[in-house]
């Protein structure tokens, strides 16, 4: 029992290594903070198996057209919203595919609405409002593992049949009892007692990076280590798209740029056009059938061509 209590309160404990931080010069403060941050990656390395299990469950749902939801309050909720917002431009998926739900609504991303974290029923209601069901995955994010809103969301999501994950920095905390998979890196007490935007937030961000990136790689939205589905919506990304086309197809820069233009600036369409030797409309249609996966879209076009040859069609 004492062990459980210790885990439950770990994010609120005082850190003896930073007890005198208020009397230090700036150089010593940042040195101490850096030393504490160095402990985070080690803590995350000890929960990689659980992270991989979560990725597998998420991929299984997304492959069948389901969605991934992140939900939490305060810093945890904001980190979930951030990771969700990065998925469409990075991987070319619909904004509906990965969604962030934060207690208090999106206004809480820039203005503290911390009282909302105490409402367990609000977490449950937000799951129902998004139509969460058995085909979806839900990651409840709560550094302390005790946040009622996140617990209510995970509990309701699981009852609705969704695949559920708890992301916390407190093993054996209440939220871990509600989820199918629990990811709980133990980062230890914060530099400032209870300020979980620091080490706990860093650990959560690292793990969210892994969950979304590994899932998208497994789903086929990456070629090699290239973001083959990125949305080229500014000059920097357009230049990156041209480089990716060149690397994937051996086209020179001018030809790659012309192909991207012919594809209406859409990288994945350009890649399908180059790899399948087709026009932009056929490429787009095949991508729709392939749920945006470039290699699968190319296979679909090849299968259609083979079928035409087999039947003697034109």
- Overall average pLDDT of the 268-272 stretch: 95
For position 212, what pLDDT does the model report?
A: 98
The 10s digit of each residue's pLDDT in 158-217 is 999 999 999 999 999 999 999 999 999 999 998 898 888 999 999 999 999 999 999 999
For position 296, what pLDDT does the model report?
A: 93
Is 1 a residue whose pLDDT tops 50?
Answer: no
pTM attached to this predicted model: 0.88
Where is pLDDT greater, at 308 or 172?
A: 172
The 10s digit of each residue's pLDDT in 208-252 is 999 999 999 999 999 889 998 888 889 999 999 999 999 999 999
Q: Which residues of the chain does CATH 3.40.50.10490 include?
A: 2-219
Is 4 a residue whose pLDDT tops 70?
Answer: no
Q: Select from 185, 172, 176, 184 the least CA-distant residue to 158.
A: 176
Alpha helices (H) along 92-145: 120-129
280-284: long-range contacts, CB 8 A cutoff, minimum separation 24: none
The 10s digit of each residue's pLDDT in 41-79 is 999 999 999 999 999 999 999 999 999 999 999 999 999
Cβ count within 10 A of residue 172: 16
Residue 248 annotated as catalytic? no
**Exposure on the CB side of residue 5, measured as CA atoms within 13 A:** 2
For position 51, what pLDDT does the model report?
A: 98
**Architecture of the structural domain at 235-311:** Orthogonal Bundle (1.10)
Query: Regarding beta strands 98-102 and 137-141, do their DSSP bridges make them parallel or antiparallel, or are they unpaired?
Result: unpaired
Beta carbons within 8 Å of 204's beta carbon, 6+ residues apart: 75, 76, 79, 141, 143, 167, 169
Residue 117 annotated as catalytic? yes
In the structure, what pLDDT confidence band is assigned to residue 11 with cuts at 50, 70 and 90? confident
Q: Which of 12, 56, 60, 86 is catalytic?
A: 86
- Judged by DSSP in three states, 71 sits in strand
What totals of helices (H) and strands (E) does the chain contain, helices first?
Answer: 12, 5
2-219 CATH choice from 3.40.50.2300, 3.30.930.10, 3.40.50.10490, 3.40.50.970: 3.40.50.10490
> Integer distance in angstroms from the first to the last C-alpha of the chain?
74
Q: Select from 116, 120, 80, 117 the least CA-distant residue to 100.
A: 80
Q: Which residues of the chain does CATH 1.10.8.1080 include?
A: 235-311
- Judged by DSSP in three states, 17 sits in helix
The 10s digit of each residue's pLDDT in 100-159 is 999 988 777 777 665 567 789 999 999 999 999 999 999 999 999 999 999 999 999 999
For position 313, what pLDDT does the model report?
A: 55
DSSP annotation of 175 reads G
Where is pLDDT greater, at 259 or 7?
A: 259
Q: Is 133 left (phi over 0), alpha (psi -120 to 50) or beta?
A: beta
Q: Which of 36, 50, 117, 248 is catalytic?
A: 117
Containing 191, the helix (H) or strand (E) segment is none
Angle (CA) 215 218 223, round 5°: 115
DSSP annotation of 116 reads G
């Amino acid at each position: 029992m004492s062990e459980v209590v210790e885990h439950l309160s770990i994010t609120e404990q005082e850190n003896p290594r930073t007890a005198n931080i208020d009397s230090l010069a700036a150089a010593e403060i940042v040195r101490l903070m850096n030393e504490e941050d160095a402990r985070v990656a080690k803590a995350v390395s000890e929960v990689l198996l659980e992270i991989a299990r979560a990725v597998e469950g998420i991929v299984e749902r997304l492959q069948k057209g389901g969605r991934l939801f992140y939900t939490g309050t305060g810093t945890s909720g904001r980190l979930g919203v951030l990771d969700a917002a990065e998925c469409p431009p990075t991987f070319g998926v619909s904004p509906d595919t990965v969604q962030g739900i934060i207690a208090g609504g999106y206004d809480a991303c820039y203005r503290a609405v911390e009282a909302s974290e105490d409402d367990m029923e609000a977490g449950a209601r937000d799951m129902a409002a998004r139509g969460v069901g058995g085909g979806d995955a839900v990651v409840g994010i709560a550094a302390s593992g005790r946040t009622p809103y996140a617990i209510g969301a995970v509990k309701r999501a699981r009852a609705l049949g969704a695949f559920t994950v708890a992301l916390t920095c407190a093993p054996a905390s209440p939220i871990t009892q509600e989820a199918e998979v629990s990811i709980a890196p133990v980062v230890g007490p914060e530099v400032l007692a209870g300020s979980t935007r620091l080490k706990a937030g860093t650990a959560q961000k690292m793990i969210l990076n892994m969950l979304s990136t590994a899932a998208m790689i497994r789903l086929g939205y990456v070629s090699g280590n290239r973001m083959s589905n990125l949305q080229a919506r500014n000059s920097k990304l357009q230049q990156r798209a041209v480089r990716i086309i060149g690397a994937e197809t051996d086209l020179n820069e001018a030809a790659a740029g012309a192909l991207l233009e012919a594809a209406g600036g859409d990288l994945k369409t350009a890649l399908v056009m180059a790899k399948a030797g087709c026009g932009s409309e056929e490429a787009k249609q095949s991508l729709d059938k392939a749920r945006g996966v470039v290699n699968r879209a190319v296979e679909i076009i090849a299968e259609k061509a083979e079928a035409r040859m087999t039947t003697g069609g034109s």
